[in-house]
Chain A
Amino acid sequence: MADAALFEFLHTEMVAELWAHHSDPGPGGQKMSLSVLEGMGFRVGQALGERLPQETLAFREEVDILKFLCKDLWVAVFQKQMDSLRTNHQGTYVLQDDSFPLLIRMASGLQYLEEAPKFLAFTCGLLRGTLCILGIKSLVTASVASLPTCKFQVVIQKT
């Protein structure tokens, strides 16, 4: 029903507006608006996680949850699977998307590299929020070497 396009348009507008509103000239300014976007993504990720049918959550191992994020969640949210998943088997996972839809509209390559983090903050929060509902506390960051490829790093927090 609600076209995937609508979410992308809304996301782009949010990045533009919240950035302008929250950023202040000081060095802390950039962090402030990234954390606002990340926080919103987190709440949405939690809400999405709560709506997953119970049967999908019969995971045996932590890596199965990460695979679920890379396949099912990514397809549901971005109409494609994550392109690769790597782990050091000690609680750190790197999820790589070679053509991340929220970066596609921007030029590819090294142009706009500085702008890229703003377009990743919400999605980092989304991953962290869904993991939270699935019982995993984590820190999620993203990095871009060259658009539209990006990597999401998930570090599991042991309590």
Chain B
Amino acid sequence: MPRPAHRKPDYHKINKDLFVLTYGALVAQLCKDYEKDEDVNKYLDKMGYGIGTRLVEDFLARSCVRRCHSYSEITDIIAQVAFKMYLGITPSVTCNNSSRTEFSLILDKNPLVEFVEELPAGRSSLCYCNLLCGIIRGALEMVHLAADVTFLQDRLKGDRVTEIGITFLRKLDEKKYRRKK
């Protein structure tokens, strides 16, 4: 009996949607578990941190990053290599202070919110994508860099852009990204 002809689904898109939808289900579950937005935000950051500490090895294994000599090089790699590799977007980078320790990633597109039109009712302080901040913070810590990472602006909250701020906290001495051969 011949199989009925049907078009194969787009595997790539399903795979991409899987992560975004799972993330949405996670945020929804956390909103059920925690009444306060701050608690959800903290929890997302904590989970992101756990992911980041493991993701960095995956990243270093897949990419051929060169030795970095400055925080601004590292931030460029986060924006142009890591974000591109895992989320398919390239945020633009700005430096916010003269000592070059504070940077911003400006996200023009954000796949995590593809299916989110607005924040849930009563959740105006929710940092929906806070997992990303934790991931960056955890990954940096595994390469011996301490940083504060937070959302400075959020389109879901009505801001013009979505902006992640990275503030490096310690002087970059001998610790740099390893170069994988």
Instruction: Assess the A48–B19 pair: CB atoms within 8 A.
Output: no
Which residues of the partner chain A approach B21 to less than 8 Å between Cβ atoms?
43-44, 47-48
Instruction: Assess the B47–A13 pair: CB atoms within 8 A.
Output: yes
Q: Is A56 an interface residue (CB 8 A)?
A: yes
How distant is the Cα of A14 from the Cα of B50 in the complex, in angstroms? 10
Q: Is A98 an interface residue (CB 8 A)?
A: no
Closest to A122 in B: B22
User: What are the interface flags for A104-147 relative to B under an 8 Å C-beta threshold, 1 for contact and 0 otherwise?
Assistant: 00000000000000000010000000000000000000000000
Instruction: Assess the B17–A51 pair: CB atoms within 8 A.
Output: yes
Interface residues of B in 1-55 (CB under 8 A from A): 4, 6-23, 25-26, 28-29, 33, 43, 46-47, 50-51, 54-55
B interface: dominant SS: helix
* Set B6, B16, B19: member contacting A10, Cβ < 8 A: B19
How distant is the Cα of A52 from the Cα of B52 in the complex, in angstroms? 31
Which residues of the partner chain B approach A4 to less than 8 Å between Cβ atoms?
15
Which residues of the partner chain A approach B23 to less than 8 Å between Cβ atoms?
10
- Do A2 and B87 contact each other (CB < 8 Å), given the known contacts A13-B47, A14-B26, A48-B14? yes
Instruction: Assess the B9–A17 pair: CB atoms within 8 A.
Output: no
How distant is the Cα of A72 from the Cα of B18 in the complex, in angstroms? 14
Instruction: Assess the B17–A47 pair: CB atoms within 8 A.
Output: yes
- Do A7 and B22 contact each other (CB < 8 Å), given the known contacts A18-B29, A56-B9? yes
Which residues of the partner chain A approach B29 to less than 8 Å between Cβ atoms?
18, 36, 40
Closest to B58 in A: A5
How distant is the Cα of A48 from the Cα of B13 in the complex, in angstroms? 10
A-to-B contact residues, CB < 8 Å: 1-7, 9-14, 16-18, 21, 36, 40-41, 43-44, 47-48, 51-53, 55-60, 64, 72-73, 75-77, 79, 122
A-B CB contact pairs (8 Å), 7 listed: A5-B55, A10-B19, A12-B54, A14-B22, A17-B50, A57-B6, A73-B14
